[in-house]
Amino acid sequence: MVLVKTSERVGRVPPSGIRKFFELAEEREDVISLGVGEPDFSAPWAARDAAIASLERGQTSYTANRGMRELREAIADHCADRYDLDYDPGEEVLVTTGVSEGVDVALRALVDPGDRVAMVDPSYVSYRPGVLLADGEPLPVRTREEEHFRLTYDALQRAGASEADLLILCYPNNPTGAVMREEHLEPVAEFCREHDLRVLSDEIYADLTYEGEHTSIATLDGMRERTIVFNGFSKAYAMTGLRLGYALGPAEGISAMNRIHQYSMLSAPTTAQHAALEALESCEEDVEEMVRAFNRRRRFVLSRFSEMGLDCFEAKGAFYVFPEVPGNDGTFAEGLLEEQGVAVVPGSVFGGAGEGHLRISYASGLPQLKEAMNRMEAFLA
Amino acid sequence: MEPKRELLEALCANARTDTADLARQTGLSESEVEAAIADLEGEGTIRGYQAIVDWEEVDEDHARAAVELNVTLDRETGYAEVSERLAKFPEVSSLHLVSGNYDFLMIVEASSVRRISRFVSEKVAPVPEVTQTVTHFVMETYKEGGIEMNGDDDDDRLSVSP
């Protein structure tokens, strides 16, 4: 007898496509996983130490809904310095429990039933469920390897995004590692201005941009007033488990998001907020060092793929590369795991445009990457 | 970051990385890597390559001490002259001129505490410029060359995550 009746809404959300690979990988002992979406580093010690110190001082209460004032100020300063993003810490910054919560409350705050939400395909797995849970209609916009998986004006046009209300951008991109420089963002911004699209820009991998600087779409003409920018501490500061992110946007948008956040979350984890404050104040060098390490691994992996004859565009962001593989990506990934004990995530998990590709995470030490590449080479032979 | 600096960082992370892997990591060709390393060695930027050993794991005696040294200088003898004399001893594994209450910080290694004591009293203390020595025997090493001796390198991340 079914005692619990679940909602029609939750029924709309499909189970995670990654689950299967997680279970297969967990069954084996000798697996090298290139399927991990988080850094292998630990958070910088100074940030961890600040978290511990805050606990020792007994700072275990709630903070302001929007996050500690001091942290919001530090975030605003950091974003102004680093990304040219100017936001008022009083009205335009919301500290969230990871970017995931930020995107979720933004969707619930900005989407009306039936609103169309365009999103880059392939991209991170939570946008589509987020839109469905907010009663919106997901509209995937396919990107192509020939265009380095960048979103283009034509792709938006082709997908019918002129009818959309909202666009979710994610660059540097998970799973492709694609980046969009200012010249690539400008046509997208033009499309958004022409068709009055609001933008949710998930920039969690911004600091992991190689060979050049990250540009936020919110810095382009006429975009600030229609964009919510998301960033956080998970990737660049290796703080995934501390669950801390932030959203920047026009006061009305942030205030609407805060209305949901104050009831559902109350405030982001206090201990993590203390760690984040310290991270912004003193961990810049740790971040730079991690970024350089990621970049060496990126070059290593790309160069091994080219040696083994796997087609792979030169990803310049995040810690993923997205090679094309023969045949079905799911079958390939299962075979690779069974025969060689290397876990990866099939590209199709991230959307139809990811089919035929694998997401390879290089957030692992070089010795592991080296061994994994040798095993992949053996699998392909 | 310029290629040579990048190579240095890769070698500091693991000096045993072979040329082919260094080339893959830096985007240089193998011959460029070899040339750059030859330059770095030739100009004295890279002075050598060593293993970081946890002597606790080696089945033989090993002792180490940090020795504080005070020296007195005169017109003919400066820190450089004194340091040259001290550095020649194979027991001295590192030697630094430091700020603070003493002049040199010297790390001494030998097969036993007794040998170190004898070395300090018979070879170091008699050096005419040395006015005082304070020897601290190392009781436990927790971190060396950036590597934690009891570091736990288990990867506790989920094996697959979005």
- In tens digits, chain A (381 residues) has pLDDT values of 678 899 999 999 988 888 888 988 998 889 999 999 999 999 999 999 999 999 999 999 999 999 999 999 999 999 999 999 999 999 999 999 999 999 999 999 999 999 999 999 999 999 999 999 999 999 999 999 999 999 999 999 999 999 999 999 999 999 999 999 999 999 999 999 999 999 999 999 999 999 999 999 999 999 999 999 999 999 999 999 999 999 999 999 999 999 999 999 999 999 999 999 999 999 999 999 999 999 999 999 999 999 999 999 999 999 999 999 999 999 999 999 999 999 999 999 999 999 999 999 999 999 999 999 999 999 999
What is the secondary structure of A207-254 as a DSSP string? T-B-SS----GGGSTTTGGGEEEEEESTTTTT-GGG--EEEE--HHHH
Within a domain: residue A367? yes
> Hey, are the CB atoms on B14 and A366 less than 8 Å from each other?
yes
| Coil/strand/helix, residue B134 | strand
Query: Are residues A186 and A226 both part of a single domain?
Result: yes
Token pair 């990988």 is found at A25
Number of domains in chain A: 2
Closest Cα partner for A207 from A268, A266, A284? A284
Closest residue on chain A to B3 (Cα):
A296
> Hey, are the CB atoms on A36 and B160 less than 8 Å from each other?
yes
Q: What does pLDDT average to over chain B?
A: 95
C-alpha atoms less than 13 angstroms from C-alpha of A104 in its C-beta half-sphere? 15
Chain B residue numbers touching A364 (CB-CB < 8 A)? 155
Residues of A with CB under 8 A from a CB of B: 16, 18, 21-22, 25-26, 31, 33, 35-38, 40, 124-126, 174, 292-293, 296-297, 299-300, 303-304, 343, 345, 349, 364, 366, 370
Query: Are residues A77 and A131 both part of a single domain?
Result: yes
Chain A residue numbers touching B21 (CB-CB < 8 A)? 300, 366, 370
Task: State the Rg of chain B over Cα.
Answer: 21
Of A216, A251, A282, the position where a domain reaches its end is A282
Q: Give just the sign of the alpha carbon dihedral A366, A370, A371, A372.
A: positive
Nearest-Cα distance to chain B for A245, in Å, is: 17
* Cα(A180)–Cα(A184) distance, integer angstroms: 5
Of A242, A259, A282, the position where a domain reaches its end is A282
> Hey, are the CB atoms on A36 and B21 less than 8 Å from each other?
no
Query: Are residues A59 and A39 both part of a single domain?
Result: no
Of A251, A282, A313, the position where a domain reaches its end is A282
- Return the pLDDT at A1: 67
* Cα(A14)–Cα(A83) distance, integer angstroms: 36
> Are A81 and A207 in contact, with CB atoms under 8 Å apart?
no
- Return the pLDDT at B118: 97
> Model confidence over B38-97: pLDDT tens digits?
999 999 999 999 999 999 899 999 999 999 999 999 999 999 999 999 999 999 999 999
* Cα(A233)–Cα(A273) distance, integer angstroms: 10
Classify domain B3-42 by CATH architecture. Answer: Orthogonal Bundle (1.10)
Query: Are residues A189 and A245 both part of a single domain?
Result: yes
Phi, psi (5° rounding) for residue B117? -60, -45
> Hey, are the CB atoms on B25 and A297 less than 8 Å from each other?
yes
Relative to beta strand A116-121, strand A166-170 is parallel
> Hey, are the CB atoms on B158 and A22 less than 8 Å from each other?
yes
Indicate the residue of B1, B10, B160 with minimum beta-carbon distance to A21. Answer: B160
- Enter the tokens of residue A164: 């959309």
Nearest-Cα distance to chain A for B22, in Å, is: 8
Start-end of H helices in A311-353: 329-340
Closest residue on chain B to A123 (Cα):
B162
Residues of the domain holding A361: 8-43+285-380
Instruction: In chain B, list all ranges with CATH 3.30.70.920.
Output: 55-140
> Hey, are the CB atoms on A35 and B1 less than 8 Å from each other?
no
Closest Cα partner for A304 from A212, A210, A378, A209? A378
Query: Are residues A19 and A89 both part of a single domain?
Result: no
Query: Are residues A143 and A16 both part of a single domain?
Result: no
How many beta-carbon pairs under 8 angstroms link A with B?
66
Within a domain: residue A1? no
Q: Does domain B55-140 have CATH number 3.30.413.10?
A: no
Query: Which of A26, A174, A296 has the highest number of chain B CBs within 10 A, making it the mutation to test binding with B?
Result: A296
Q: Which residues is B107 bridged to in the sheet?
A: B66, B94
Can you give the three-state secondary structure of B71-104, one letter per residue?
A: ECCCCCCCHHHHHHHHHCCCCEEEEEECCCCCCE
- Enter the tokens of residue A309: 């004859």
Cα dihedral A94, A99, A105, A111, rounded to 10, equals 120
* Cα(A164)–Cα(A196) distance, integer angstroms: 9
- Enter the tokens of residue B11: 């070698």
Nearest-Cα distance to chain A for B29, in Å, is: 11
Query: Are residues A99 and A57 both part of a single domain?
Result: yes
Query: Are residues A230 and A127 both part of a single domain?
Result: yes
Q: Could you give the ipTM of this predicted complex?
A: 0.84
Amino acid found at B39: D
Indicate the residue of A26, A40, A303 with minimum beta-carbon distance to B159. Answer: A26
Start-end of H helices in B14-148: 19-26, 30-42, 79-87, 113-119
Nearest-Cα distance to chain A for B161, in Å, is: 5
Closest residue on chain A to B28 (Cα):
A299
